[in-house]
Amino acid sequence: MVDGHSLRPPTGESLLYLTDEQLRQGIEAMFFAYRGFTADPDRILAGMDYGRAHHRAIHFINRAPGTTVNNLLNILGVTKQSLNRVLRRLIEDGLVESRVGTQDKRERHLYLTEEGQQLESRLSDAQRARMRAAYKDAGPEAVAGFRQVLEAMMDTDMRRAYARLKDAPS
């Protein structure tokens, strides 16, 4: 204690009163971190003439093999037309397989092919390496706090979708 003030870092309670400047810095840090996070996969995909929409589709099909087109639409929050363009290309290129549902013939279930799994692995390996290095530098308390902040920023329905994926086997 120095002059009646604790030498301990601020607690969560005092962090509730961030200045606009501190919030702006956090927003900008998110923008630049996202650019870094997507840079490695973007480089891999650029040579294939794919973009981030293809990456996201591949990622979530890998996380939930057999997911339906409707479920993928809900997760990605894109239009049906936009997703159909992405899926059509991935299917034509042999990265994704679409199977008719056994219970409901109107449903299409999506699976990565072996080639799709290899691409997904290259993309996620690059992102895992970046995340692993950042987490290692930041330490376990920062990792837990970062995850809490991200989860708190999610809309309620997205938080539920995230929780289902988080609990799904890898």
Tell me the whole-structure pTM to 2 decimals. Answer: 0.82
Residue 2 lies in a domain: no
Residue 145 lies in a domain: no
Residue 87 lies in a domain: yes
- Reported as a pLDDT band with limits 50, 70 and 90, residue 49 is very high
Domains: count for the chain: 1
Which whole number is the average pLDDT over 121-129? Answer: 96
Phi-psi category of 38—alpha, beta or left, where left has phi over 0 and alpha has psi -120 to 50?
Answer: alpha
Q: Is the pLDDT of residue 161 over 90?
A: no
Which whole number is the average pLDDT over 115-139? Answer: 96
**Contact 67/109 with Cβ under 8 angstroms?**
yes
Residue 160 lies in a domain: no
Range of the domain at 89: 22-138
Residue 81 lies in a domain: yes
CA distance 120 to 62: 7
Residue 90 lies in a domain: yes
Residue 104 lies in a domain: yes
Q: What is the DSSP letter of 110?
A: E
SS3 96: strand
What confidence score (pLDDT) does residue 113 get?
98
Which whole number is the average pLDDT over 79-99? Answer: 96
What confidence score (pLDDT) does residue 17 get?
76
Dihedral sign (CA 111, 97, 117, 136): negative
Stated as kind and residue range, the H or E segment containing 147 is helix 140-153
Phi-psi category of 94—alpha, beta or left, where left has phi over 0 and alpha has psi -120 to 50?
Answer: left
What confidence score (pLDDT) does residue 166 get?
77
Residue 59 lies in a domain: yes
CATH label of the domain that carries residue 127 = 1.10.10.10
What confidence score (pLDDT) does residue 2 get?
47
